[in-house]
Amino acid sequence: MDSTIKHIGVFTSGGDSPGMNAALYAITKTAEVNGINVSGFRKGYEGLIDGDLVQLKSHELQKLTQKGGTILKTARSKRFLELEGRKKALQTLNVNKIDALIAIGGDGTFKGLLAFSEICDIPFIGIPGTIDNDISGTDYTLGFDSAVNTAIESIDKIRDTAESHNRVFIVEVMGRDSGYIGIHSGLMVGADAILIPESDTDFINLLDKVKHYDSDDAFLIVVSEGDEIGAELVSSKIKEVNPNVDLRITKLGHVQRGGNPSALDRMLGIRLGVAAIDALLQGKNNVMVGILNNQLHLTPFEEVVKQHKINDELQDLLKLFSS
């Protein structure tokens, strides 16, 4: 056990995601039990650069487990991409006598830590937080489950109005480069077609189906934000093959990032927060804590690449339910 760690820093970075506050609570609680003080840096790497920090106390965080977003705020920091910015961040850590850092964010955040480790030799631990679920080394990232639940609830509502008007609805869901939210929400709402960046046969199936759509029901299409064709082009191609359709496009957007975390995300936040402190106490460095097959798992940052987790089973489901 590493007893030299007395004061750690924690921050959230990249896109916020439901469950981040639960992780902050678990980190702080576990740290306190082990006699470690916790400072929270605000606005991701920006807070490290500017020395913008607050003391975190578990009794204040306890009731915030249920809250979406991140109480520490988050940011995408251009300054940290530059060595100058990282040197300022190092100064902040030295001035505040920080012995270790825990970052909650996506693969970009972990790349940032790797770059930082070239000039800063304290231990870094990462917790995967992004609704996109596009990180290897964990089955689920913080926020994915909540985002899918929000998407499903919204698309179910769209179905009600779509059925009432016999309309074709194209619903765009988030996922910058990943179709994970798209395939999950699409399957769970019984979409007639699901378009994701990881598959290029889905569009041909869709046009085939919509050609014969006879306007006596709703026709729901879920399109991932990262899909190479995109909602607008899908719309114009549909109108070409079937000019009679009454079509609307809805982009769910940032509503998917907010809201109270689901049970799974709260539990994930708690498990990963505790695991992050345990990893530090075991002397680990430059690793991300994740959950694989329901077991805690550590992955070196170098191996945490953006991953398209649409495996064969999911691809088969996509084919089956799009046919």
Ligand X SMILES: Nc1ncnc2c1ncn2[C@@H]1O[C@H](COP(=O)(O)OP(=O)(O)O)[C@@H](O)[C@H]1O
Ligand Y SMILES: O=P(O)(O)OC[C@H]1O[C@](O)(COP(=O)(O)O)[C@@H](O)[C@@H]1O
Helices 107-116 and 83-95 sit at what angle, rounded to 10 degrees? Answer: 80
Q: Does the footprint of ligand Y cover residue 104 (CB under 6 A)?
A: no
Residue 262: name the closest of 187, 192, 184 by CA. Answer: 184
Q: Which stretch binds ligand Y (CB under 6 A): 21-29, 81-89, 126-134, 155-163?
A: 126-134
Q: Does the footprint of ligand Y cover residue 174 (CB under 6 A)?
A: yes
Q: Does the footprint of ligand X cover residue 90 (CB under 6 A)?
A: no
Residue among 176, 209, 297, 309 that touches ligand Y (CB under 6 A): 176
Annotated binding residues for Mg(2+), written as ranges, equal 107
Q: Which residues pair with 168 in a beta bridge?
A: 219, 247
User: What residue ranges in 87-237 does DSSP mark as E strands?
Assistant: 100-105, 124-128, 168-173, 193-195, 219-224
Measured between alpha carbons, how far is 226 from 215 in angstroms, rounded to an integer?
Answer: 28
| Strands ordered across the beta sheet of 247-251 | 193-195, 219-224, 168-173, 247-251
H-helix or E-strand spanning residue 30 = helix 20-33
Strand-pair category, 37-41 with 7-12? parallel
Residues 6+ apart with CB under 8 A from 233: none
Q: Which stretch binds ligand Y (CB under 6 A): 36-44, 92-100, 173-181, 232-240?
A: 173-181
* # residues near ligand X by CB under 6 A: 17
**DSSP label of 259:** S
Measured between alpha carbons, how far is 170 from 174 in angstroms, rounded to an integer?
Answer: 13
Strand-pair category, 287-292 with 124-128? parallel
H-helix or E-strand spanning residue 55 = strand 53-55
Q: Does the footprint of ligand X cover residue 18 (CB under 6 A)?
A: no
Q: Which of 2, 52, 121, 132 is catalytic?
A: 132
State the minimum distance, in angstroms, from the CB of residue 126 to ligand Y. 13
Considering only residues 102 to 121 of the shown chain, the ones binding ligand X according to CB under 6 A are 105-109, 111-112, 115
Residue among 257, 266, 271, 284 that touches ligand Y (CB under 6 A): 257
Residue among 39, 77, 92, 130 that touches ligand Y (CB under 6 A): 130
Measured between alpha carbons, how far is 135 from 290 in angstroms, rounded to an integer?
Answer: 10
Q: Which stretch binds ligand X (CB under 6 A): 33-41, 72-80, 164-172, 278-286?
A: 72-80
Residue among 26, 101, 132, 183 that touches ligand Y (CB under 6 A): 132
**Tokens, residue 209:** 């189906």
Q: Which is nearer to ligand Y, 131 or 270 (CB)?
A: 131
For residues 103 and 82, the answer to whether their CB atoms sit within 8 Å is no
Q: Which is nearer to ligand Y, 18 or 175 (CB)?
A: 175
Q: Does the footprint of ligand X cover residue 77 (CB under 6 A)?
A: yes
Residue among 15, 69, 85, 123 that touches ligand Y (CB under 6 A): 15
* Residue 45 binds which entry of ligand X, ligand Y, none, CB below 5-8 Å type-dependent: ligand X
Residue among 10, 48, 93, 131 that touches ligand Y (CB under 6 A): 131
Q: Which is nearer to ligand X, 209 or 306 (CB)?
A: 306
For residues 97 and 74, the answer to whether their CB atoms sit within 8 Å is no
Q: Is 132 a catalytic residue?
A: yes
Binding site for ligand Y (CB under 6 A): 14-15, 106, 130-132, 174-176, 225, 257
Binding site for ligand X (CB under 6 A): 13-15, 45, 76-77, 80-81, 105-109, 111-112, 115, 130
**Catalytic annotation, residues:** 132
